[in-house]
Amino acid sequence: MRELTYADGLREALREEMIRDPNVILLGEEIGVFQGVYRVTRGLLDEFGPERVRDTPISEAAIAGAAVGLALVGLKPVAEIMYMDFLPICLDQLATQAAKIRFMSGGQLRVPMVLRTQYSLGRQHGSQHSQFFPSWFLQVPGLKVVLPATPHDAKGLLKSAIRDENPILFIECGVLYRTKGPVSEGEYTIPLGRADIKRKGDDITIVGVSRCVGEALSAADKLKDRGVSAEVIDIRTLQPLDLGTIVDSVKRTGRLIVACDDIKTGGVGSEVSAAVTEAAFDYLDAPIMRVACPETPIPFSPPLEQEYMPSANRIIQTVERIIA
């Protein structure tokens, strides 16, 4: 195992897939000459040239629309939208076109594209550059949604997403780009639709999403000193959702918390809570709890932003409410 950053894991995935398949091309704002705002595409223009690493105009609608067209003619585009906040600008291309074409053509047409984006909560980028709303896309049949939390998973999940024959929304986390973790040597992929148990436990299940996986693991370490054994599950893909892994865990622990950087109303925690209630209500020893952001725009002030974000301490406080 090597220690790589989250950004390095993503870059390795892109490079390896571009070597493996000449139909894989990259497009997005400043991904070539400027090597990407977060340096994920650093060096790829020099290696693969401007035909396969394409700088685009500042138009999210054009980027997503071009990716749909490129996928329809047999290429494997990986398009980048610089901030998740800008996804609504290309919602028609992504949700109305890319996600529906295979169904509407009776399987005759496919749209094998990946739309990479990131959310900057925790980076003091303000209300219009820090939003996180993955649950919006639960209402888009035909679109897969991937949320890696570690360098190892970022690489393996991105490789699987590029090889998939369906449109993928691949949501990265800006504050994780420079975090380091072990990444396997050699070729590997991680199947989409499979959650990962990051830590075994017996007393409570904590489901983490993206950045909140790390917060959940930190909380579990502290809870161990208080005599509470917490199981931490990294959801990894929201669509398809690995409900079975979560339900099996809840059947053993009897308690569930979902920690996510979105707001509580209509968020990921709401969907997971409802699904687990339907599948395992009789196994629950306490109400399912959600740790999420307040229902306000994201503050720019660094201290206020930190207070706004779900944290290990808030997870611990929530655990203490439901474990007597």
Which residues are designated catalytic? 60, 129
**Distance in angstroms (rounded) separating the CA atoms of residues 280 and 258:** 15
**What letters, b where the CB count within 10 A reaches 16 and e where it falls short, cover 21-46?**
eebbbbbbbebbeebbbbbbbeebbe
> What ranges make up the beta strands (E) of the chain?
2-5, 24-28, 53-55, 76-81, 114-119, 144-146, 168-173, 180-183, 196-199, 204-208, 230-234, 237-239, 256-263, 289-293
Query: Do residues 166 and 107 touch, judged by C-beta distance below 8 A?
Result: no
Burial (CB count within 10 angstroms: exposed 0-12, middle 13-18, buried 19+), residue 199: middle
Residue 278 φ then ψ, to 5°: -65, -35
- Number of C-beta neighbours around residue 104 at 10 A: 11
**Distance in angstroms (rounded) separating the CA atoms of residues 105 and 8:** 38
Cβ-defined contacts of 20-24 (< 8 Å, 24+):
21/76, 21/162, 22/52, 23/74, 23/75, 23/76, 24/52, 24/75, 24/76, 24/77, 24/78, 24/162
Query: Do residues 170 and 158 touch, judged by C-beta distance below 8 A?
Result: yes
Place of tokens 């509580």: 264
Query: Do residues 208 and 185 touch, judged by C-beta distance below 8 A?
Result: no
